[in-house]
Structure 1
Amino acid sequence: MWGKILGALFGIALFKLPGLLLGVVVGHLIDQMFQRKLANWEGLQSVFGQDDEQALFMYSSFAAMGHLAKATGVVTKAHISEATHFMQQLGLNAQQQKEAQAAFRDGKAVNFPFRAQITEFYQRYKRRPDVLQLFLEIQLSIACVDGRISAEQHQLLIQVAECLHISRSTLAQLLLAYQAQSRFKQGQATGKEQGPSLLAAYQMLGCTPEIADKELKRAYRKLMSQHHPDKLMAQGVPAAMLEVAKRRTQDIQAAYEQIKQARAKNP
């Protein structure tokens, strides 16, 4: 309603009667846009018991996942499986999963306003860089479902980073870390590829095997601080999404411990 009223007032002030009609039309479109957004977020807000800021976090996260999954034109079974597994890992109940899936479907739509949605997210969280990076990492975890991403997904991730004002060099480092994380977990699962697994552990920490112990510990502590759940909760991250940070710190710690053990054996 307020969109039509304000549009009419501005229109008549600028263009008199024709402006009045134009202002009402434009205002109506603005009202509809906000009604759609409210409808999208209200579901998440009601089932998660969160304020509108955290509802925006949840909606933007799952909608962006859907958009990334559809980047190549077809949503693969692997991406659907990963998204479902991701929701289950967050401990979402049936109703919460239903709302998250609805956001995921919104993101898959051809006319989904991807850049506008990410930009709006940035405007809410722009003074909290660790939260912005966590959002990007959530998208990387979906894009890197099998350890590699398509060219189309990479372009979308660049758009996400740009909208969040995260540099391409930081995106490249995070992408390398997440691809390394996939290899590291495979190495841990098989227990056979100690060489590649150890290199992946260094890459997860953003380091090389030549790094000094002191610098290695500094890199490890910085990553642990960035992903500390209590710190992120204080910055407005929804409680459900803290599971992402917890799993990330566990992986970082596992990589650091493997490096320390390898260095102890070969000082």
Structure 2
Amino acid sequence: MWGKILGALFGMALLKIPGLFIGLLIGHWFDKSYGGAFASRGGFNGFSRDKSEAQGIFRYNTFAVMGHIAKSNGVVTKSHIQQATVFMEQLGLTTVQKQEAQAAFRDGKQTDFPLLEQLAEFKSAYRSRPDLLLMFLEIQISTAYVDLHLSSAEQKILTQVASALGINATQFEHMVSRYEAEARFAKSSHSGTVDAANRLTDAYKILGVNSNSSEAQLKKAYKKLMAQHHPDKLMSQGLPPELMDVAKQKTQDIQAAYELIRKQRG
């Protein structure tokens, strides 16, 4: 039915009466070929439902993989538990959402947690949203670095996560390097003693360029990262609302690094 309705409306708008009949014919073909599948997904209501389901998948996998990384060294440390708890508080999760996150975290800690199968399902849900796949990996990198040290076990899991999401080794290494720079950059922002030279070096690493990069290259890198982490864009792709602040913080760090470089270059 939706095919005939939309076909008729578009046809009428474009070609008036002749378009009406052409649109009805095209719409009839759509209803016959694809209408059943479209209706089974809830018609246009299915779009909002799909988004809700995608957000649930993102939320579950975020905390499940966090739990898996936390248990990778054999024992979940207080730092990992505190980080997960603080993360839940920062996200402003409801009581029910906290319970779901805690359950996901416990699932991830199990020795038989199917990491690769879970990641395959996650990638399938977000296969057309590469920016969200990158953000997911960034969250897991921050989990591994909660104690300011990346163990071999944590490194192995992060490598598996990156590979499963289709992120190559070079890109993964750049993401780890960028996170380390972001952590130092953020720490120096709140520190009384700031090493200007090291802070500038970290700013370049955050943007993925160096001091020899041209103004055009610098601006291109900045715009690319800002677009990749733009909260509204990620939200439209299925990022759970509670993770908006994480995306906003990312864009603030990127902007601060860019402004520092521009200021230093005069």
- For the superposition of Structure 1 and Structure 2, which TM-score range results when normalised by the shorter chain? 0.7 to 0.9
1:171 matched residue in structure 2: 172
Q: Is the 8 A contact 2:58 2:240 kept in 1?
A: yes
2:231 matched residue in structure 1: 229
Higher-Rg member (1/2):
2
Of residues 248, 251, 259, the one that matches 2:250 is 248
1:124 matched residue in structure 2: 125
2:22 matched residue in structure 1: none
2:44 matched residue in structure 1: none
Alpha-carbon offset, residue 53 of structure 1: 2.1
Alpha-carbon offset, residue 214 of structure 1: 1.6
Alpha-carbon offset, residue 92 of structure 1: 1.4
**Structure 1 residue matching 2:190: 3-state secondary structure:** helix
Please tell me the residue identity of whatever aligns with 1:109.
Answer: Q
1:196 matched residue in structure 2: 198
Q: Is the 8 A contact 2:52 2:238 kept in 1?
A: no
Unaligned runs of 5+ residues in structure 1 are: 1-49
Alpha-carbon offset, residue 199 of structure 1: 0.8
How big is the alpha-carbon RMSD for the aligned residues of Structure 1 and Structure 2? 1.4
Percent of aligned pairs sharing the same letter: 48
Q: Is the 8 A contact 1:146 1:182 kept in 2?
A: no
**Structure 2 residue matching 1:183: 3-state secondary structure:** helix
1:33-112 matched pairs, under 5 angstroms: 51-112=52-113
TM-score, with normalisation over the residues of structure 2?
A: 0.77
Q: Is the 8 A contact 2:226 2:251 kept in 1?
A: yes
1:219 matched residue in structure 2: 221
Closer/same/farther in 2, CA of residues 182 and 211 from structure 1, 3 Å limit:
same
**Structure 2 residue matching 1:219: 3-state secondary structure:** helix
Cα distance between partner residues in 1 of 2:147 and 2:110? 24
Cα distance between partner residues in 2 of 1:185 and 1:51? 33
How many residues matched?
215
Please tell me the residue identity of whatever aligns with 1:249.
Answer: T
Q: Is the 8 A contact 2:207 2:221 kept in 1?
A: yes
Cα distance between partner residues in 2 of 1:259 and 1:86? 30
Unaligned runs of 5+ residues in structure 2 are: 1-50
Please tell me the residue identity of whatever aligns with 2:169.
Answer: R
TM-score, with normalisation over the residues of structure 1?
A: 0.77
Alpha-carbon offset, residue 52 of structure 1: 2.3
Per-residue CA deviations over 1:194-237 (Å, capped at 9, x if unaligned) read: 11111111111111122112211110110000011111111111
Cα distance between partner residues in 1 of 2:92 and 2:255? 22
Alpha-carbon offset, residue 247 of structure 1: 1.1
